[in-house]
Amino acid sequence: MNTSKYFFQTLVVVIVSVLSFLAFKTILPKKIFTESKLNSKSVVVDSLLLEAIAEEVGPAVEDSMANTVIDYKGVNGVRFPAETFEEYTGNQYLATFFEKLFQLETKKIGNVRIAYFGDSMTDGDLIVKDFRTYFQEKFGGQGVGFVNITSESATSRSSIIHEFSENWKTQSYLKVKQPLHPFGVNGHVFYANDTANVAWVKYKANKTRFATVLPRPTLFYGSSSNKEGKINYVIGTDTISKKISPNSLLNALVLSESNLKSIKVDFKQADSIPIYGFNFDDGKGVHVDNFSNRGNSGLPIGSFDVATMRAFQSKLNYDLIILQYGANVLNYGSLNYSWYEKRMAKVVAHLKECFPGVAILIISTADKATKYDLEMKTDSAVVPLNTAQKRYAIKSESSFVNMFTLMGGDGSMIQWVEQEPAKANKDYTHFNHRGAKEAANLIFIQLNKGYELYKKLRKKQKKSAVPIKKDSLFFNTDSVHEK
């Protein structure tokens, strides 16, 4: 066998291949791996986003708010300093939330509740778990809050052990436009419609800080003509059976006033009754509900039924709603996000109708890296999307956390992935547990800075409030609300 002959043939092939690559490199696309159609079978994307993309893709537009200065009107006499577009946080719009924290911190009574909506970035309670812990560490509170009946991320959630039977039927606002019953605040509605087999769900506390028990387990369910449904569960040595009475638009059934380590609930004859989930909190301190959905753009929140959400608000009493989206909106191939800005502004307006008086916080997209010319760089869509998110936050009078800037700005995702130990996954998009904890801390630090400034402004306002005598009556400027 003539090995030298084959060696020289191989060498020629290698040389020709290298020269061909160098010749064609100049005409190869800069972005090697295009993501313009969102067609990955492994990624779930909500139907409203797909419709929006099909209708409103366009070229990038020049930003008209870059030189804007946002000046604020005071709330209860407290007025935050004006901000430029670049530095915008919108802490003024969190004044009611900060006041609730202040009352909780100083009087040690009542509670504060936060609804945290997100996509795969908060899947499995990532970010939210640590965000919840930071608040409970400072203000008190125990429990993981509201938990679904079933969840695609149940096995990866570290803040609670969550198991369920496979015969639950689920409708999600990511895929269904006209559900059989209104979606719950979690964007889902569940049915135990398998009459041949018992549908069940089980929750178990673990060693997560401030979540080592399941405080006051409470079932939330909707209205139905079925009056025969019931649940069975065991506490200690006692087997308890309770009737489900779906008489109101939203119903709450307390299973125990005690703190439990675990609970397994069987649903019997409960077909056609809309089940929403369980809540676990001690009624004190701060509670944070994680409403994450993989593939969510935030647009489906606009499909919430107003009456149903107000019913949830009457029972859960939210003080802050957080929206953290963007990872699923980056990949459709255009740098014009004016369509997303307009649609999310409508979503926020709808949320304000659903939850009157509740403060809203927008968390921007994090950095994401994509390969250009064989080199990983910040995706070209990150900054335009970030800008659009800030624009609709300002226009809708919402607070804003610039996650892209906080984590380090341009090229930061590459650093988070490649440093030791790593803080993000090799997809250059999602944080790992270490990175999620840091992201939660960055968000908490910004909110806490806003809260500490609020306390200083509040104290300053109190000192300047002098009673004024008029027609034998005393008026205090603290009672004046600026609108």
**What mean pLDDT do residues 153-174 have?**
96
Is residue 242 classed as helix, strand or coil in its secondary structure?
A: strand
The Cα 304–Cα 115 span in angstroms is 14
Q: What is the pLDDT of residue 5?
A: 55
Helix extents (H) in 88-236: 95-107, 128-139
- β-sheet with 161-164: strand ranges across: 161-164, 199-204, 262-268, 230-235, 238-243
Q: Tokens at residue 14, please? A: 């290698």
The mean of the pLDDT values for the chain is: 88
Q: Tokens at residue 126, please? A: 């990532």
78, 123, 149, 325, 404 from 301: Cα distances, Å: 31, 17, 19, 12, 23
Concatenating the DSSP letter of every residue in 94-120 gives GHHHHHHHHHHHHH--SEEEEEEEESG
Least confident segment among 72-76, 317-321, 441-445: 72-76
Least confident segment among 11-15, 279-283, 295-299, 441-445: 11-15
pLDDT at 28 > cutoff 70: no
The Cα 416–Cα 23 span in angstroms is 34
Give me the count of residues in the chain.
483
Of the candidates 159, 161, 180, 162, the one whose C-alpha atom is nearest the C-alpha of residue 171 is 180
| Contact of 213 with 205, CB cutoff 8 Å | yes
The Cα 83–Cα 400 span in angstroms is 12
Q: What is the pLDDT of residue 237?
A: 86
Q: Tokens at residue 444, please? A: 């908490």
Give CB contacts under 8 A, 24+ apart, made by 412-415: 412/367, 412/378, 413/366, 413/367, 413/368, 413/369, 413/378, 414/369, 414/376, 414/377, 414/378
| Contact of 21 with 273, CB cutoff 8 Å | no
Q: Tokens at residue 125, please? A: 């309670």
Is residue 60 classed as helix, strand or coil in its secondary structure?
A: coil
The Cα 200–Cα 221 span in angstroms is 15
Phi, psi (5° rounding) for residue 171? -120, 130
> 321: which strand partners?
115, 360
Phi, psi (5° rounding) for residue 203? -125, 140
pLDDT confidence bin for 466, thresholds 50/70/90: low
- Asked if the domains 48-141+287-483 and 147-282 are classified in one and the same CATH topology, the answer is no
Query: What is the CB-side half-sphere exposure of residue 454 using CA atoms within 13 A?
Result: 23
pLDDT confidence bin for 140, thresholds 50/70/90: very high
> 277: which strand partners?
220
pTM for the complete prediction?
A: 0.86
pLDDT at 380 > cutoff 80: yes
- Tell me the residue type at 318: Y
Q: What is the pLDDT of residue 58?
A: 56
Question: What architecture (CATH level 2) is domain 48-141+287-483?
Answer: 3-Layer(aba) Sandwich (3.40)
Q: Where are the domains of the chain?
A: 48-141+287-483, 147-282
E strand or H helix at 142? none
Q: For 269-310, how does the pLDDT look when each residue is reduced to its tens digit (9 = 90+)?
A: 999 999 999 999 999 999 999 999 999 999 999 999 999 999
pLDDT confidence bin for 42, thresholds 50/70/90: very low
Q: For 241-277, how does the pLDDT look when each residue is reduced to its tens digit (9 = 90+)?
A: 999 999 999 999 999 999 999 999 999 999 999 999 9
> 69: which strand partners?
84
- Tell me the residue type at 72: Y
Q: What is the pLDDT of residue 109?
A: 83
In the DSSP assignment, the letter for residue 16 is H
- Tell me the residue type at 15: I
pLDDT at 26 > cutoff 60: no
CATH code that applies to domain 147-282: 2.60.120.1360
pLDDT at 439 > cutoff 70: yes
Residue 406: CB atoms within 10 Å: 20
| Contact of 351 with 185, CB cutoff 8 Å | no
Whether omega for the bond prior to residue 421 falls within 30 degrees of 0, making it cis, is yes
The Cα 293–Cα 299 span in angstroms is 12
Q: Tokens at residue 354, please? A: 């659903």
Q: For 108-122, how does the pLDDT look when each residue is reduced to its tens digit (9 = 90+)?
A: 888 999 999 999 999
Concatenating the DSSP letter of every residue in 450-471 gives HHHHHHHHHHHHHHH---EEET
The Cα 113–Cα 41 span in angstroms is 36
pLDDT at 25 > cutoff 50: no
Q: For 322-338, how does the pLDDT look when each residue is reduced to its tens digit (9 = 90+)?
A: 999 999 898 777 789 99
Phi, psi (5° rounding) for residue 465? -80, 110
Concatenating the DSSP letter of every residue in 282-318 gives -SSEEEEEEEE-TT--SGGGGG--HHHHHHHHHHH--
